[in-house]
Amino acid sequence: MAGKSDIRRNFPWGHSRRFNTYSGYFRKIYGERIQKVSIDAGFTCPNRDGTKGTGGCIFCDSKAFNPSYCRPEKSVRQQIEEGILFHKKRYPGVKSYLAYFQTYSNTYAPLEKLALLWQEALSHPAVAGLIIGTRPDCIDREKILYLKDLSTRHYVSVEYGIESCYNRTLMRINRCHTFEDAVEALKITEEAGLNAGAHFIFGLPGETIDDMLQEARIISHLPLKTVKFHQMQIIKDTVAEKQYLENPSDFKIFEWDEYLDFIIRFLERLNPAIVVERLTGEVPPMYLFSQPWDKKRSDQIVSLVEKRMEELDTWQGRYYVDNE
């Protein structure tokens, strides 16, 4: 009979961590740690400038998520150099970086402008590739084909904010795109052989725990390489804060113990081939209306989740069914 250690050796992602980790994924590709450096290239978003909407998504407040070195008035090169210095303090041995175009919708401009920014990032000798965060309705085949060409020489990933698999939720949070838009964007990204990432939030208004767990089955069958998950957090001065004050029970603001239980159940249902980059979001407490979890940082949270998974002797994909 297989013991615990035998099961560990058989995890399909090739290491003994209890889920398919982002760091393990890059170690497989590069044989070492790789670090992201964030870039704010001064984009806006069609859901803020009036093209699709004006108020933005109800939770949107990008100032809460930008590292200090990341400012649009600086060139891409300068942000990369300052970002590398910033990360060197914590990870002095890191040699390669991925330029992460993070703020707002980073494909929301003509290809000529985007190509210059991407080339500027890739011209830095320490930059091994690009990660481009955007909305599913801000991509097209022309941009994808350009990225496909870049991907023959560099790592390239397009990371889509999808947030929920349910159109009723996307309407309520004022996303101004549908889940079908997300599926189409992922399809053209996959067809070009690019890495596709996605971001989802747990606790959006009107969703039950069962709705969220059901998303594991839906996400498992999307052509995704990586995913990021965030718990719903109420950020000060957003529409979400106003709605939360009017009707708190509409949102699911997880307590830590509840989230620990939930995220493990979610991972158990998730396709083991999908790389999990984040289990939670981290917003500086000064921006938060809802209470942070005793100031737990993301790396501590990952350790606590893995410790609990060890205790339960469970793993990502334990209950994933391929042909569902």
Binding positions for ligand SF4, rule: CB under 6 A: 45, 47-48, 56-57, 60, 104-105, 135, 161
Query: Minimum distance from CB of 47 to ligand SF4 (Å)?
Result: 4
Residue type, 58: I
Query: Minimum distance from CB of 58 to ligand SF4 (Å)?
Result: 9
Query: Minimum distance from CB of 280 to ligand SF4 (Å)?
Result: 17
Non-local (6+) Cβ contacts of 19 within 8 A are 267, 276, 305, 306, 309, 315, 316
Complex with ligand SF4: residue 203 or 317, whichever CB lies closer: 203
Complex with ligand SF4: residue 56 or 197, whichever CB lies closer: 56
* Residues 92, 247: Cα–Cα separation, whole Å: 47
Query: Minimum distance from CB of 57 to ligand SF4 (Å)?
Result: 3
Query: Minimum distance from CB of 166 to ligand SF4 (Å)?
Result: 16
Complex with ligand SF4: residue 17 or 199, whichever CB lies closer: 199
Complex with ligand SF4: residue 21 or 105, whichever CB lies closer: 105
Which residues pair with residue 99 across a beta bridge?
37, 130
DSSP label at 302? H
* Residues 92, 32: Cα–Cα separation, whole Å: 13
**Extended beta strands in 173-274, E state:** 195-202, 226-231
Which residues pair with residue 159 across a beta bridge?
133, 197
Complex with ligand SF4: residue 21 or 107, whichever CB lies closer: 107
Which two structure tokens, joined as six digits, stand for 174?
Answer: 């004022």
